[in-house]
């Protein structure tokens, strides 16, 4: 079971997501984190590395997802400071900028989320354009409804092998993860599935593994210490 730390980046700071309501996200700091007292992205990455030598981290550029342009020099400098980490980067619809950034950061991989795409054909085109960079599909859900491309299940044969099931309303909450969609998709042996949203403690991780997940995205549980070094060393592989 792979533990994947998450960084949500907005307004030049790392924030703690909660319930998908981006306007209310608070900057990471001493009031909500036992790992760091500063919200800079380098500080948060370093804080995660005090827990475990992670080889993968997930970053969502919420400004870019919201429609702002991609700051290639910033991301190039930031990510290249950690040459042993493969960063999974969600840049929203900035597909055209990906090749330029990837030339400078060879270990990054694109996240393609259903939420922002208007049609199935647009999403298929993005996956095709990014194929050389090993994209990861994120099926974005809220209250059990798929956001954006609601008919994504119709083209399962076109999905990349790695898929995230992201329950946005559960991100940063203590409501527990969702299992139903995960269990249904786990019957497809071709897929490597990751769960995002609501994971509270080690028992949730065990339950996710039993439901078919091979990895879990975590932020709040790492910052508040609900999942600590011993848990990570036991699960991560």
If we measure between CA atoms, which residue out of 233, 211, 229, 213 comes closest to residue 221? Answer: 229
- Structure confidence by residue, pLDDT tens digits, 126-177: 999 999 999 999 999 999 899 999 999 988 989 999 999 999 889 988 788 8
Strands 215-218 and 2-10: parallel
If we measure between CA atoms, which residue out of 178, 142, 116 comes closest to residue 19? Answer: 142
- Structure confidence by residue, pLDDT tens digits, 16-53: 987 767 777 899 999 999 999 999 999 999 999 999 99
Query: For 2-235, CATH number?
Result: 3.20.20.70
- Structure confidence by residue, pLDDT tens digits, 169-206: 899 887 888 888 898 899 999 999 999 999 999 999 99
Give the containing element (helix H, strand E) for 112.
strand 109-113
If we measure between CA atoms, which residue out of 225, 221, 233 comes closest to residue 196? Answer: 221
Domain range summary for the chain, segments of one domain joined by +? 2-235
CA–CA distance, 142 with 213 (Å, rounded to integer): 19
Sign of CA dihedral 104, 76, 3, 116: negative
66 Cβ contact partners less than 8 Å away, ≥ 6 residues apart: 22, 92
- Structure confidence by residue, pLDDT tens digits, 87-104: 999 998 888 888 899 999
């Amino acid at each position: 079971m792979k533990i994947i730390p998450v960084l949500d980046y907005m307004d030049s700071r790392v924030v703690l997501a909660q319930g998908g309501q981006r306007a209310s996200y608070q900057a990471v700091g001493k009031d909500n984190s036992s790992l760091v007292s500063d919200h800079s992205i380098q500080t948060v990455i370093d804080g995660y590395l005090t827990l475990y030598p992670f080889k993968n981290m997930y970053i969502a550029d919420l400004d870019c997802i919201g429609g702002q342009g991609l700051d290639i020099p910033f991301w190039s400098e930031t990510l290249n400071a950690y040459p042993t980490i493969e960063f999974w980067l969600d840049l929203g619809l900035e597909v055209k900028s990906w090749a330029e950034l990837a030339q400078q950061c060879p270990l990054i991989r694109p996240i393609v989320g259903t939420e922002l795409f208007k049609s199935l054909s647009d999403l298929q085109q993005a996956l095709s354009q990014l194929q050389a960079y090993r994209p990861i599909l994120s099926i974005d859900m809220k209250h059990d409804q798929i956001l954006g491309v609601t008919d994504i299940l119709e083209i399962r044969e076109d999905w990349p092998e790695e898929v995230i099931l992201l329950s946005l309303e559960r991100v940063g909450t203590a409501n527990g993860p969702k299992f139903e969609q995960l269990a249904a998709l786990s019957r497809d042996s071709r897929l490597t599935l990751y769960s995002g949203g609501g994971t509270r403690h080690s028992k949730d991780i065990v339950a996710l593994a039993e439901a078919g997940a091979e990895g879990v995205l975590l932020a709040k549980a790492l910052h508040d210490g609900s999942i600590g070094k011993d848990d990570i060393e036991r699960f991560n592989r």
